[in-house]
Amino acid sequence: MVSYFNRCHAAFLEANYDDEMLDKGGYPYHLKQRIRGGNGHLSNKQAVELFVNHRPPFMTHLLLSHLSKNNNDPDLVQELFDACSAGVNITVASRFRESEVYHIKGALGPQRHVTERTAAQASLF
């Protein structure tokens, strides 16, 4: 994942759960373990560590998605990522409305052609 992430001008990144909210929440132990198990969801902490340690200098947009309804808070995620954004446009995707369309300019491939893409298209690279 790191090798792809550090080539993105824009990316969708999961920030599924807050560790403390998951700990204190009503999910059964086995479900909490599955969520944390390393084969599925990224915590807010894991997502911000990936962002801070592996974002490329040319990244312009990060869209945070797949937030748990029960174990996360969009305001908490926004605040966490805004604190380390370093000029990157941070958007927490809503579960209730579509995000705006973003036009991402970036270099792709060895010829370094500049192109415009929506954030959804850019996340494929």
* Whole-angstrom distance, CA of residue 95 vs CA of residue 66: 8
Residue 81 is inside which H or E element, if any?
Answer: helix 74-82
Number of neighbouring beta carbons within 10 Å of residue 95? 10
Cα dihedral 7→16→68→120 (10° resolution): 10
Predicted confidence band of residue 121 (pLDDT cuts 50, 70, 90): very low
pLDDT digits (tens, 9 = 90+) for 11-51: 999 999 999 999 999 999 999 999 999 887 999 999 999 99
Contact 68, 20 (CB under 8 A): no
Residues 6+ apart with CB under 8 A from 90: 62, 64, 78, 81, 82
Residues 6+ apart with CB under 8 A from 97: none
13: DSSP letter: E
Global confidence as pTM? 0.81
In the chain, the percentage of residues whose pLDDT exceeds 70 is: 85
Q: pLDDT: is 61 or 114 the higher one?
A: 61
pLDDT at 56: 96
Number of structural domains (the chain) is 1
Instruction: Supply the range of the domain harboring residue 6.
Output: 2-122
